[in-house]
Structure 1
Amino acid sequence: MSGGRAESLVRRTAAGAVRGAREGDVLSWKGIPFAAAPVRDRRFRRPIAPVPWPELRDASGYGPMAPQRILKSMEVDPAIGLSEDCLTVNVWAPLGASAAVAAGRPKPVMVWIHGGGYFQGSTGQRFYDARHLAANGDVVVVTVNYRLGALGFVDFSSFSPSTGDSSFGHGFDSNVGLRDQIFALEWVRDNIRAFGGDPGDVTLFGESAGGACVIALMASPLTSGLFHRAIAQSAPVTSIYGQERAATVAARFLDIVGIAPGQAQKLRDLDPFDLVDAGAELIHEVSSQVPGTLAMAPVQGDDVLPDYPLTVFREGRAPAIPLIIGTNHDESSFFKLMRSPLLPITTESVERMFVEIANDRPEFEGAGERITGAYPGYPRRRAPAEISRDAGFRMPSIWLAEAHSRFAPTWMYRFDHATPLLRVTGIGATHAAELAYVFGSFAPWGRDLVFRLGGRAEAERVSRRMQARWLAFAHGRAPDVPAAPDSSEADEAAVEWPVYDETARSTLIIDRDDAVVLDPDAEIRVAWGPEILAFR
């Protein structure tokens, strides 16, 4: 490590040199542009290479967040601005990573896609501080900003000119948020060696919408060779819609902002925060009218996603790479707490969700009664929220794991750990609760509300085990090691984690003590039956 103290903070990318900062046992570079600013004629278009910078660029601070309305719960530094010019990456590398490249031993790379329902979030959130992950795991970590909301996940391509070259001007591209992520992965391929990483050894991981993007990118023909393992945390993998429905959503967005379909190019003249506010109205309207669906999400039917991801996986056309996938025990309590319309958490909205499913697919008439009957206490108690959790996250993840396990090593988990405060309040292991465990990014002592009733030492032990598994996986090993790679102490609470298959359905339950359970909640899984929520 003594040589690491003198390690240069300057790295050269294809677009120019950047100077980072030292953070304990890692070096970091933040706010590095991986694409040109998607503004004016580039708004709603696929990303292109950034304009090179001739001078040394400061990379000690995060780049701007994509335009959005910031929630207090996001825990983001207020000094970070908001701008359409948001296409940046951040890199953390352990000390000595450059020397490892010179010696022919570049570090494994982990690339993170943040969540936020496709309309919120930023790599600058406290949870995604990757310094501990990089230092503990001897890996290079990259986190990616991408376009959100209407700017990234409303598909206006149906309003592009039908003839002529639409590379500029009035043309609109589809799936530009996913295209940003693919472009960032290409940046990793072309530049990460300068930071000590191995472009041939990349693990892509993400949570919530970011986890669904991981699955979509696995199903995309445009990502071949860009990553080699994947982790999908709490991924709504079936919330991907067809072009006809996407065109309807885009037309409604134009109605909201008062633009005629034949003048869709005027979208480029609007203030980005007017687009954000119109997007909020659209989100609430769509989720209220058709519970369980999203207004903004990836779209099937273009060169990015020719087919629905679940179809691709079921037919064995996804890359046969190792996959970890799982959900949290109490996903829906977060949406209830935040009064979010994204999940149907009331009895009325749950039953309307099943009515809409049957309207779309008559073969599932009566499925709602069968499914709700498998939940004790329905319609009272917590049952509606549990149904919503399973509809949005748990069952789609099981269907995906079933499909992929036929062709490649697959591991399934359920995160159950909650601090005493979260247990007492009934929030439990809610949506996104595992993020601080994966990144080791708990707030400093005395400043994290979730530990008001204690439990920090236990949570840190769970975090070390969870990190050890994720990091072992990123190093190409099975995620069942009992301790971190550089630790001499075995964790007695860790257990071997078998691969998932459709017979045993071995699932790792992550809690105070880890446990492997065969086919947890089997009666609920059976009641759901086939993939009734897919392809809506």
Structure 2
Amino acid sequence: MCPGLPSGRPDDSPPHPTDQGEDVVAYTMNGRLRGRTARVADGRVQVYMFLGVPYARPPLGGLRFHAPLPHEPWTGVRNATQHGAHCAQDIPQDRRFYHSIPLFMPHARISEDCLFLDVYTPTMDTTARLAVLFFIHGGGLFSGSGAQYDGRALAAMGNIVVVIINYRLGILGFSGIGGQWNVGFLDQIIALRWVQQNIHVFGGDPGQVTVAGQSAGGNSVGLLVLSPLTDGLFHRAISQSGAASTIPTQPNTDHTENIFFLLSRLCTRPSPSETLECLNLGLRNLSAEDFVNAWGWRHQPAVDGFFLPDQPTTLLKNGSAKNIEYLMGVTNHEMGHVIALDWHFIGEKDRDQIRSIIAAGYRDYFQCMNGQTDVYIDVSKFISDPLLDLYKMEQDPLMQVIGDMMFTVPTVNTAWYRTDTPVYLYEFQHRPSWHHSRPAHVKADHGDELLFVFGAPFFDWPRNPADPAWRVNFTEEERVLSRKILTYWTNFVKTGDPNRGDTEPTSTFDLEAWPRYSRENQEYLQLDLDISTAHRLKEEKVKLINDMLACSNSSVSSSGLDRTVMTLCVLMLCFYYGLL
């Protein structure tokens, strides 16, 4: 049995403060919404907030597992001053996990009626035509919520409209039980359509939409860029610690076996007749909690020929991605503490130990193609000594190599294949000052850039003030770093260039120039208290990991590569939930 999660009380933090300011009413295509005003940056800047706005019909009853449908109009004025319910997930488990980032769950309500979004805007002038940031939360496609993110500072200080969404998670979003795959991604698409139809009401420009996300949200962005269903719905993209191939994609094969596996777990009843009745009802009578409790990692993107026509790596190599500007990057220690938590005991420095652990995870999942025959192989021989030599002197070398495999390599590969259009690459390197419990060698961990991107130093980031463990305080140097990062991001949202805003010159904030990524120089920006430019992010590690994932010099099926990474994901999640 692996060690459990770090001790720590559940999140009792209050909801994001929405009871301040005056009421404001917006007139959307579906009906009127009542929002509130608030102020950030020591009260100097006002922002309008509309929370818990429905963007699609509740996926209940016969609509469970169904592609989302547009929301029906309502009469009267709908209250939009509180966050909507989180999509179905294990909230107590999530709260312990997000304690480490910190991204607080402001309430504990889960429901299948969860297709809501939040809008933050600095103006209600319908002619303002401000650029729009559409943000997708992370959480491995099985946890997280838009309510964890507060867009006030980003909207007010960046002078953009910020939209943050929920989408169906886990089995309800990605199992294909109802015959429709990728419904969680289809939720994201219908939310983007809502933006196209309504964002002008909030001062936004439907012709200036940037889709952005972190972790599984960054993976979502990568897939939305590749999908033929999203043409015209957005115009730029930002992926933070996630790319199209970060979460493995099921190949375009018969998924009957996987679906049967899920059904058999969900429809276990005292008698065969009751089990058959459950199956015949299409699982409609099960509760959201039943799906959350039915553990099974069969919720992941799938090549369905509709949302996703082929494997992401194939689409990237074939140039199927949209001709848009892309800003993307990673932290320099993605598997430092947040995901790995306290199971650093497996960070052995002995190369044979590392090789055996990785090989055990690969076994039965990694396939090399030998002519027309799938051959299962001993993967350990492809985990080369030169690769292990690069990591053996580091703390937790196994975590380092897995982190690079899951996040760094897919991100660098995506940048490499997209150099025909503007790409801006970064590595976030700053260890936040409030992290005292993580290992000393960990600098920037998974998610550490989020509070800086969202401008948390400039308003009261949600927390429980009665518990010092939840306090998030920023140094003056971190406030400067957050202001610079917020400016880079909003410049990109406005112009497609992080160096150039629409009205304010770069020199106003003394921003270091961010070079465009190219195959020749492979320049990227190191985001730390002292920002600098560097070349060829982890070049040797990226090359050797790519060689390994390519099955040495063999011809590898896309499904084989993705299954390899999937195995590592499963291992991590098993450790996280104490299942191994």
TM-score (normalised: structure 2): 0.78
Give how far 1:266 is off.
Answer: 3.4
Query: Contact between 1:344 and 1:388, CA under 8 Å: does it hold in 2?
Result: no
Note the 1:170-319 alignment, pairs <5 A.
Answer: 172-238=179-245, 239-244=248-253, 246-258=255-267, 263=279, 265-278=281-294, 281-283=295-297, 295-319=298-322
d(CA) in 2 for partners of 1:34 and 1:525?
40
Q: Find the counterpart in structure 2 of residue 350 from structure 1.
A: 358
Which residue of 370, 373, 380 maps to 2:388? 373
1:376-525 aligned within 5 A: 376-377=391-392, 381-405=395-419, 407-420=420-433, 421=435, 425-442=440-457, 444=460, 456-480=475-499, 490-492=508-510, 494-525=511-542
The question of 1:88 aligning with 2:103 is answered no
The corresponding residue for 1:131 is 152
Cα distance, 1:504–1:344 mapped onto 2, change above 3 Å: farther
Aligned pairs for 1:4-15 within 5 A: 9-15=24-30
Q: Which residue number in structure 2 is paired with residue 169 of structure 1?
A: none
The Cα shift of 1:310 comes to 2.4
* Aligned residue identity for 1:457: E
SS at match of 1:516: strand
1:527 deviates by 1.2
2:341 corresponds to which letter in structure 1?
Answer: L
Letter in 2 for 1:376: Y
Contact kept in structure 2, 1:110 and 1:474, CA below 8 Å: yes
Count of equivalent residues: 492
**Cα separation, partners in 2 of 1:196 and 1:371, compared to 1, 3 Å:** farther
Residue type at the aligned position of 1:52: P
Please say if residues 88 and 144 of structure 1, whose CA atoms lie closer than 8 Å, have aligned partners that are also in contact.
yes
Distance 1:453 1:19 in 2: 31
What SS is found at the alignment partner of 1:182? helix
Alignment partners' CA distance in 1, 2:532 and 2:169: 37
Residues 411-440 of structure 1: per-residue CA shift (max 9 Å, x gap):
111111112445764443111111111101
- The farther-off stretch of 235-244 and 72-81 is 72-81
Q: Give, in whole Å, the separation in 2 of the partners of 1:430 and 1:265.
A: 45
CA deviation after TM superposition for structure 1 residue 520, in Å: 2.8
Does structure 1 residue 26 correspond to structure 2 residue 47? yes
Alpha-carbon distance in structure 2 between the residues aligned to 1:440 and 1:7? 23
Q: CA deviation at 1:12?
A: 1.4
Deviations 1:431-489 (A, max 9, x none): 111111110125848959799897622222211111110000011142135x9965897
Q: Deviations over 1:108-132 (max 9, x none)?
A: 111000000101011111xx10000
In structure 1, C-alpha distance between the alignment counterparts of 2:129 and 2:378, rounded to whole Å: 51
Alpha-carbon deviation of 1:69? 1.1
Aligned mates of 1:504, 1:212 — CA distance in 2: 25
Q: Matches of 2:240 and 2:561 in 1, distance apart?
A: 18
CA contact (8 A) 1:327 1:394 kept: yes
Partner of 2:13: none
Which residue is equivalent to 1:336?
340
SS at match of 1:155: coil
Secondary structure in structure 2 of the residue aligned to 1:200 = strand
What SS does the aligned partner of 2:32 have?
Answer: strand
Q: Are 2:54 and 1:54 equivalent residues in the alignment?
A: no
Inter-partner Cα distance in structure 1 for 2:342 and 2:137: 19
**SS of the residue aligned with 1:32?**
strand
In structure 2, relative to structure 1, the CA distance for the partners of 1:181 and 1:453 (3 Å cut) is closer
Matched residue type, 2:449? E
1:59-70 pair list within 5 angstroms: 59-70=80-91
Residues 215 and 242 in structure 2, CA contact (< 8 A), matched pair in contact too: yes
1:321 to 324, 327, 335: 324
Question: Structure 1 length normalisation: TM-score?
Answer: 0.84
Shift of 1:335: 1.4
**SS of residue in 1 equivalent to 2:117:** strand
> Does the 8 A contact of 2:181 with 2:304 survive in 1?
no
Contact 1:94–1:135, Cα closer than 8 Å, also in 2: yes
Contact 2:23 2:36 (C-alpha < 8 Å) held by counterparts = no
Contact 1:109 1:198 in 2 (8 A): yes
Residue type of the partner of 2:141? Y
The aligned residue for residue 554 of structure 2 is none
Q: Is there any run of 5+ residues in structure 2 with no aligned partner, and where?
A: 1-20, 40-45, 269-274, 370-374, 551-559, 564-580
Q: Which amino acid aligns with 1:210?
A: G
Q: Residues 396, 330 of structure 1: CA spacing in aligned structure 2 closer, same or farther, 3 A cutoff? A: same
CA distance in 2, matches of 1:376, 1:86: 43
Distance 1:412 1:78, change over 3 A: closer
Once the two structures are superposed, residues 196-223 of structure 1 have per-residue CA deviations (whole angstroms, 9 ceiling, x without a partner) of 1000110000001111000101111110
Which one is further off, 354-363 or 380-389? 354-363
Give the conservation status (yes or no) of the 8 Å contact 1:314–1:404. no
Structure 2 counterpart SS, 1:332: coil
Q: Is the 8 A contact 1:87 1:147 kept in 2?
A: yes
Q: Is the Cα contact below 8 Å between 2:495 and 2:502 reproduced in 1? A: no
- The answer for the alignment partner of 2:567 in structure 1 is none
> Which residue matches 2:175?
154
The CA deviation at 1:404 is 1.0
* Aligned residues of 2:53 and 2:118 also touching (Cα < 8 A): yes
Q: Distance in 2 between matches of 1:78 and 1:32?
A: 16
Residue 8 of structure 2 corresponds to which residue in structure 1? none
Gaps of 5+ in 1: 1-5, 158-171, 284-294
Asked if structure 2 preserves the Cα contact closer than 8 Å seen for 1:20 and 1:59, the reply is yes
Q: Indicate the SS of the match to 2:519.
A: coil
1:113 and 2:136 aligned: yes
